[in-house]
Amino acid sequence: MPPFGLVRSQPFGPWPGLGRLPPQRSAINPSFHVCRSGFLDGGLAACSLTLPWTKTTRGAGAVIALHQRGADLCPIAAFQTHCALSPGPGTAALFAYRQSSSLVPLSRSVLLARLAAASKAAELPVLHGHSFRIGGCTELLLRGTAIEDVKAHGRW
């Protein structure tokens, strides 16, 4: 099953945007997309995620610090659970999941289709890809986070 619970925690933590998900299952490129080897597990308190490529730094990439959040939306706990349920090599896509006996990378199209179905079922507006980045920054501002930290979160 795709790691929707893990992706659900994204807007509330400094995870990469949907641009880090391949548009289709066969399109994974380790020079551009985040692989599991880029996740440095430091336990529940803090971890880091290495992005091989970003829109602003290109091939220089970036390192994102992840911090523990509340139990319902903690990206670290969610990722650790995801890896336990769908183990795979470091070369696997960050959000790869087990489907039968194969490890399949979560694609942008699968994620957005699932989000649209869930939104419609809950009678909520359908979210689009960029809504995650905007929502994450808005959430930080509403929590009283300093603008400098929000800029770092958005990698501006």
The number of C-alpha atoms within 13 Å of 35 and in the hemisphere containing its C-beta is 13
Quick one: pLDDT at residue 74?
A: 83
Domain boundaries, the chain: 4-154
Query: Who has greater pLDDT, 36 or 14?
Result: 36
pLDDT digits (tens, 9 = 90+) for 75-132: 888 888 998 999 999 989 888 988 888 889 888 888 888 889 999 999 999 887 777 7
Instruction: State yes or no: pLDDT of 5 exceeds 60.
Output: no
* CATH class of segment(s) 4-154: mainly alpha
Quick one: pLDDT at residue 18?
A: 54
Instruction: State yes or no: pLDDT of 12 exceeds 50.
Output: no
Instruction: State yes or no: pLDDT of 4 exceeds 80.
Output: no
pTM beyond cutoff 0.85:
no
Instruction: State yes or no: pLDDT of 58 exceeds 70.
Output: yes
Task: Provide the 10 A C-beta neighbour count for residue 70.
Answer: 9
Quick one: pLDDT at residue 13?
A: 43
